[in-house]
Amino acid sequence: MGEVEVFGARCLDLLADEAMVTVLGQLRLETLSAIEMEQAVPGLSYKVALSRLRRLVSLGLVAATGQARGEGRSSGRVAHRLIAPGSAILTVVGCAANCEAAWGRRPRAFAPLGAEALAVAADRPWRAIARALAHERLRVRDLEALIPEISHGTLERRLRDREAQGLIDSQREGREAWHSLTDSARRQATVAMYAGRWEWIFGDADKGLLASDLAGVIHQLAPLVHLPDQLNGICRMREDWHTTLQSDVYLAVRAGQLIPFVVGPLGEPDVTAKGTPQEWAHALVTNASDSMVSNGDARLFAAVIAGLHRELCV
């Protein structure tokens, strides 16, 4: 993905901080002060809790109530509560926790649920690697040719680490290893989708400067989708946005499978739909195909959206 900043990247950077996720998770339950968090969470110090609360207040995710509770320094006794953007960002955390649970690995001691999956989703080299592996298994040298901005050492470390997490399947044939995404790795794309949706609605960045990676998310999720066997055709998903990594996504529906095209097919698709990244995120997360402007086979388009929606809601 190079140096392009995509929707969701800032959200994921924020949530890659385990202490931040811990503080947000505590505020989901009740209004708390920094001192109360220190007492409630093993390993979370007063200073760390207070610094994260201040950061969340500055971002408009949390508000101080003005009430000082208990004893201790006045700044640490002020209770804080989640407001709408903070409550909404917990949807991203919940999505990451669901993905992490499917890995089948025990979380680290004291680590908040979803923290490991959030760190993976926020890792830019890994996201580029996953995007490159979305269509087929590849060797290290193939990946180096596709994503030359990632050094050989970084590439090999990411592949080794993600294999240990169950996100990469590596099979040696002769003197070389072929690497492919596991289903758990593909479902990691859901975290990026929810982060992008949150950032579009609540992020304070100049959205006109950000790019959408709808194609990257869909290309990773498409092989997991199961559709009715009787459906056949080609669906084109077009983004009305001036900074995208790929403006058109072509998907073939055949024999119950959803198959993404690396390049556009010859001939006209059976259905074309278009919308902004926000509209696409809304349609996919809520299964609202009728909210999009489309021309052609409405039944085919509705089935594609419903299939992707099921994977986004796992």
Kind of pairing between the strands at 233-239 and 271-275 = parallel
Phi, psi of 266 (to 5 degrees): -75, 145
Residue 11 counted as domain residue: no
82 three-class SS: strand
The CATH number of residue 181's host domain is: 1.10.10.10
Q: Are 89 and 166 members of one domain?
A: yes
Q: Are 191 and 255 members of one domain?
A: no
Which residue, 163, 184, 210, sits at the end of a domain? 210
Residue 46 counted as domain residue: yes
Rounded distance, CA 70 to CA 38, Å?
A: 13
Q: Which two tokens stand for residue 208?
A: 């006109």
Q: What is the CA radius of gyration of the chain?
A: 21
The CATH number of residue 246's host domain is: 3.30.1050.10
Q: Are 54 and 95 members of one domain?
A: no
Which residue, 177, 210, 243, sits at the end of a domain? 210
Q: Are 28 and 134 members of one domain?
A: no
Q: How many CA atoms lie within 13 A of 171 on its CB side?
A: 7
Residue 160 counted as domain residue: yes
Nearest to 234 by CA among 252, 215, 247, 257: 252
The terminus-to-terminus CA distance of the chain in angstroms comes to 26
Per-residue pLDDT reduced to its tens digit, 97-120: 999 988 877 767 678 889 999 999
Tally the domains of the chain.
3
pLDDT of residue 266: 78
Q: Are 163 and 216 members of one domain?
A: no
Q: Are 22 and 116 members of one domain?
A: no
Helix (H) or strand (E) holding 131: helix 124-132
Residue 78 counted as domain residue: yes
In this structure, how many other beta carbons lie within 10 angstroms of the beta carbon of residue 130?
Answer: 26
Per-residue pLDDT of the chain (314 residues; tens, 9 = 90+): 445 689 999 999 999 999 999 999 999 989 999 999 999 998 899 999 999 999 999 999 999 987 766 555 566 789 999 999 999 999 999 999 999 988 877 767 678 889 999 999 999 999 999 999 999 999 999 999 999 999 999 999 999 999 999 999 999 988 889 999 999 999 999 999 999 999 999 988 888 889 999 999 999 999 999 999 999 999 999 999 988 887 799 999 999 999 999 887 778 999 999 999 999 999 999 999 999 999 999 999 999 999 999 999 86
Residue 220 counted as domain residue: yes
Residue 10 counted as domain residue: no
Q: Are 279 and 230 members of one domain?
A: yes
Q: Which two tokens stand for residue 206?
A: 């100049």
Strand partners, 271: 235, 296
Is residue 111 within 8 A of residue 18, CB to CB? The reply is: yes
Write out the residue range of the structural domain in which residue 22 sits: 17-82
Q: Are 241 and 230 members of one domain?
A: yes
Is residue 30 within 8 A of residue 217, CB to CB? The reply is: no
Which residue, 175, 210, 245, sits at the end of a domain? 210
Q: Are 261 and 296 members of one domain?
A: yes
